[in-house]
Structure 1
Amino acid sequence: MGGLNLEYLEVAHLYLFGGVKFLHLLLLLMGLDILTGIVKAIKNGNLWSRKSLFGYARKLLVLIVVITANIIDQVLSLNGTLTFATVLFYIANEALSIVENMAQLGVLVPQQLAEKLKVIETQSEERFTNEILTELTGKNVDKELKDKKDGAQ
């Protein structure tokens, strides 16, 4: 039989996702985040925005990070520790994103959590914008803004 050797598939599966704890939960939360994001985009009237396309790409990149963590975990014989920590980090990130989407859709969210999400959202948007400006201009925008603030005081 000259077909596909299943042993190679088993090795590939082991190195890509073998034994990754909570991977199904992460995938479920990613799907729910996409779903709540689409509902939010429909509500806001920007369903086909670049932001959503970058969001989908980011989901794929998260899976690449999980695969990379799993490979490093396997090579260094860490018994799943690195992969488990990586997956837990992204589970928490997806859960926060879902809660944020729900809050923006008008679903009641505990007040303290909603306030924390607003702070996180503002800081991440500023950081992302500054990173893009730094990349495009070659100047450290964060440092220039800090210097301006310090000079104004």
Structure 2
Amino acid sequence: MQAHDWFRPVAAVVGAVLSYLFGGWNALLGVLLAFVVADYATGVLAAAVEGRLSSAVGMRGIARKVMIFLIVALAHLADTVLGDSHMIRDATIFWYIANELLSIVENAGRIGVPIPPAISRAVEILRGKGEGQATER
């Protein structure tokens, strides 16, 4: 028996669990994953530039990102109870993508990256529509 023979069965189990939790992989989940990673990375960069890099804050950020995917999984499970659509899951993912985009743009501004006016306006519109609907990020 090879030392790496454990990989395939473990990968199969992990894939099955993730498929059950998220309803399979699609482009929306891929985009959400990319935005979550980009937000975390830009947050770390902004904190480093500002001299406020902290492992405790970083760990809290990771916990928040894990919670995003837990909430998406719960939204998918709610969808399975209501029928075979992904309406709640997809709406949840869209909301988190918009939220992560806002955070990425804010982090870029903290770093000193100039933000194109069109993006600034879109962020202001999104921020205005989202006020009072969610708790502090």
* TM-score when normalising by structure 2: 0.70
Aligned 8 A contact 1:69 1:82 in 2: yes
**Aligned counterpart for 1:23 among listed residues 25, 29, 40:** 29
* Matching residue of 2:124: 116
- Deviation per residue, 1:38-85 (Å, 9 max, x gap): 111111111115433322211111111000001111121150001000
Q: Percent identity?
A: 34
Residues 1:12 and 2:17 aligned together: yes
Structure-2 residue corresponding to 1:51: 57
Larger radius of gyration: 1
Which of 64, 75, 88 is equivalent to 1:69? 75
Rounded Cα–Cα distance in structure 1 between residues aligned with 2:60 and 2:54: 11
Provide closer, same or farther for how the CA distance between residues 60 and 10 of structure 1 changes in structure 2, counting only shifts above 3 A: closer
Could you list the structure 1 runs, at least 4 aligned residues long, displaced by more than 4 angstroms after superposition. Answer: 6-11
Question: When the two structures are aligned, how many residues end up with a matched partner?
Answer: 119
1:107 maps to which of 102, 113, 136: 113
Aligned partner (choices 38, 42, 47) of residue 44 of structure 2: 38
CA RMSD in angstroms, aligned pairs only: 3.1
- Conservation of the 8 A alpha-carbon contact between 1:41 and 1:47: yes
